Amino acid sequence: MENNSQSQDWDLIIKGHTSLFDLKFKDLWNYRDLLLMFVKRDFVSFYKQTILGPLWFFIQPIFTTLVFTFVFGNLAGISTDGLPNQLFYLAGITAWNYFSDCLTKTSTVFKDNANIFGKVYFPRLIMPLSIVVSNLVRFGVQLILLFLLMLYFYLNPIEGTSFQVSNGIFLFPFLVLLMAFLGLGLGLIITAVTTKYKDLTFLVTFGVQLLMYATTVIYPLSYAREKGYGHIVELNPMTGIIEAFRYAFLGKGEFTLWSIGYSTAVTLVILFLGIIIFNKTEKNFVDTI
């Protein structure tokens, strides 16, 4: 009887105690169908009770771009490095929105899904990964909006402004991965911390908004350097990503191997720490949430 049980090949073994560095990547692949199901759920549940539905994908970046153009472009007169104001702001908004959505929605994974986590086993990392993937839909729609605006200014150029797609466009898939991984890593750290300190959830949205002003979403890096705080802005890993994003699509932006290398290194460190902390917290979070 004992020999028979030892010879059996089990599809799944659930252990009570596992190593902190056992990240269960094989389980993630085995549960890929569940990942797709969660992606569909995230998309449908968020918009099924809205009047305009997916049109909000367009409305939010359009209104944000118009406000930024009026406040920072017209009133404050901040330089946009020779780019049309609307294109400059929309490019930054498109990249920032994907990162911030990944961060803010991942930061409440434990709280939002405590009822599911407490009832059935599946790799917990599936849930935040589904958020990152589902946000790609919104990112893709806003990217189409950016392309349409680029086409408009190409057919109706404004004197004194110019833009062009650069060879940096080949880095686009890599930049998307960096935005996704950075938002995922920070979100995993925050959701782990907020299982014990729940009041920190109120600071997340506010903190993300403040963090945006420490990147080059509303001003170019050259402007920050002129004002004397360029070195501080460059410490933000999203600065190098947004600058590279603008350089790829609009041909303007301070893209260097050092800046993208720094953003990549910081992103990988944060992602690694986020997965480790998440892996440790998910073992006993049901008892504390």
Kindly tell me if the per-residue pLDDT of 1 is higher than 50: no
- Whether 1 maps to a domain, the answer reads no
HEC secondary structure over 163-207? CCCCHHHHHHHHHHHHHHHHHHHHHHHHHHHHCCCHHHHHHHHHH
Q: In whole angstroms, what is the distance from residue 253 CA to residue 243 CA?
A: 5
Kindly tell me if the per-residue pLDDT of 281 is higher than 50: yes
- Whether 15 maps to a domain, the answer reads no
Kindly tell me if the per-residue pLDDT of 117 is higher than 70: no
Task: Note the pLDDT of residue 153.
Answer: 92
Kindly tell me if the per-residue pLDDT of 45 is higher than 70: no
Task: Note the pLDDT of residue 207.
Answer: 85
Kindly tell me if the per-residue pLDDT of 19 is higher than 70: no
Task: Note the pLDDT of residue 46.
Answer: 62
- Whether 6 maps to a domain, the answer reads no
How many domains does the chain divide into? 1
Q: In whole angstroms, what is the distance from residue 36 CA to residue 32 CA?
A: 6
pTM: 0.84
Mean pLDDT of the chain: 82
In terms of residue numbers, what domain contains 165? Answer: 21-287
Kindly tell me if the per-residue pLDDT of 88 is higher than 60: yes
Please answer whether residues 222 and 254 qualify as being in contact, where contact means their C-beta atoms are separated by less than 8 angstroms.
yes
- Whether 4 maps to a domain, the answer reads no
- Whether 16 maps to a domain, the answer reads no
Kindly tell me if the per-residue pLDDT of 50 is higher than 70: no
Kindly tell me if the per-residue pLDDT of 227 is higher than 70: yes
- Whether 156 maps to a domain, the answer reads yes
Kindly tell me if the per-residue pLDDT of 2 is higher than 60: no
What confidence tens digit (pLDDT) does each residue in 167-178 have?
Answer: 889 999 999 999
- Whether 56 maps to a domain, the answer reads yes
In 3D, which of 203, 6, 17 has the Cα closest to residue 104? 203
Higher pLDDT, 67 or 12: 67
- Whether 106 maps to a domain, the answer reads yes
Q: How confident is the model at residue 25 (pLDDT cuts 50, 70, 90)?
A: low
Kindly tell me if the per-residue pLDDT of 10 is higher than 60: no
